[in-house]
Amino acid sequence: MNRLLTVVALVVFCPELVTGCSPAGFNEPAKGTQSTRETSIPTRIADGTTTISTTETAVAPSETPLPAEMLASTRQPTPESTYTPASAPQPERVGPDNFPPGTNPLTGLLVKQPEYLGIPPVLVSISNYPKAGRPQAGLSFSPLVFEMYIGVGVSRFLTVFYGEYPDVSEEAEVGPIRSGRIPYESLRQLYRGSLVFASASSWVYPYLDEYTVVYGKDNTNMISARMPVDELKEIAMESKARLGEPVLTGLLFDPVPPPDGKPANSIWTAYHYTDQIFWRYDPAAQGYLRWQEGEEVSEFERYTDSLTGEPIVFENVVYIFADHYFCTDVFFDINLQYITRLPALAFRDGKMYEIYWTTGNQDYEKKTGRLRPVRFTDSKGEPFPLKNGQTWVVIIPRNTPYHETVDSQNYFDLRTKMEEGSGIWAIQFYPPEILDLPPEKDLCHFPWSSNDR
């Protein structure tokens, strides 16, 4: 059986920098320059003996005109909530170090089957592109989802399954599952779990460990790889003997929001004008609903989980600023470990907070020598309280600008216009520049063969 091919070819758009807020102490990125690069991306076939190459071309902003539909001004709709929260025990303030029995330290909520808290998490690579893979299956059952840029103008999800698993049917599967990426390994180590992905570039495999490769059901369809939930559980249970009991403490949860937040009813992020996301706060759902561009890039469709047909709702959406170490546009790592303090933006309860994230050593790490998950602090270094529930973490480059913008769905308006106090936040992604790194950190010094190049 052939391994699922993970070949994507899109045009990268690098618009002019917009003046706005940026993390304190960091310079804003340079404006885009006119250039065209061709990068050969190798992808292994199932037996590892054959290599296929495709070409991805990055096109400068002046060479990529905005489509006409993006220039038509359209206000954001005010979606009518169809979400009905399920009855559940009232959440309490818990963490960051001690959690009541049966409480998931990644959500601050009680779980139905506490025995699952004793087995390591499984981190699954789930597709965001192509659009035919939507709606995805299983995202709403994850306590923690990481979204990151993977090159060519698109993002992908590394979805953490821990403490609970989809229980909608015996045939339930999660997916579509896509290829492995280098930053996955740092997150795997932080959460002391195992990875599931659908193949990987021959450049990427040497950087990954403790993984299971999923094969597509149709080797001509890049979104045909899925995994039954029972197999996810088996992977987690089998990994316990190697990885040990998970220790995922470090997060503080409180149903009462801090008092100093700024209004944040909506968050807009664009990796490209054909890859735009809105997170919109829904008071009835008590969380943020995700919307993304549909077949028409000027129209946004609400994300749902195909396992339930219900909207994707996350109580917390957090953007963390991190260094990206590049060799090529699609082959890069993200510095996520041993971070003392870097800026972050936290959104909860319709409010935005400028906070910090850390993976630095504290008492637990110093005593045990083990890593723990990404944690969040305020300006004084005290734990920042997330809302009890699920958290969606978006990893963006340092220096990414952000500002309050106008009530619109128009790409140009959102990117360039500012309106203080609107509660509509624009976070404009820019592909990071290739850094001049020392050999020990430079991915380009990996001893690939000429064929891999």
Q: How far apart are CA 200 and CA 202, in angstroms?
A: 6
Q: The tokens of 138 are what?
A: 């299983």
Give the tens place of pLDDT for each residue, 73-128.
456 655 555 555 555 678 999 999 999 999 999 999 999 999 999 999 999 999 99
The residue type of 408 is S
DSSP state of 412: H
- Contact at 8 Å (CB) between 104 and 116? no
Q: What is the CA radius of gyration of the chain?
A: 21
Q: How many residues does the chain have?
A: 453
Q: How far apart are CA 84 and CA 323, in angstroms?
A: 39
Whether 50 shows a pLDDT value over 60: the answer reads no
Give the tens place of pLDDT for each residue, 426-441.
998 888 766 555 555 5
As a whole-number percent, the residues of the chain with pLDDT over 70 amount to 76
Query: Among 200, 223, 196, 220, which Cα is nearest to 129's?
Result: 223
Q: How far apart are CA 182 and CA 184, in angstroms?
A: 5
Q: How far apart are CA 308 and CA 91, in angstroms?
A: 24
Give the DSSP per-residue string, 270-287.
Answer: EEETTEEEEEEEETTTTE
∠ at Cα 4 (179, 38), nearest 5°? 60
Helix H or strand E encompassing 228: strand 227-228
Distance from the first to the final alpha carbon of the chain: 26
Q: How far apart are CA 177 and CA 223, in angstroms?
A: 7
What is the band of 42 on the pLDDT scale with cuts at 50, 70, 90?
A: very low
**Model pTM?**
0.82
**Region 165-170 average pLDDT:** 90
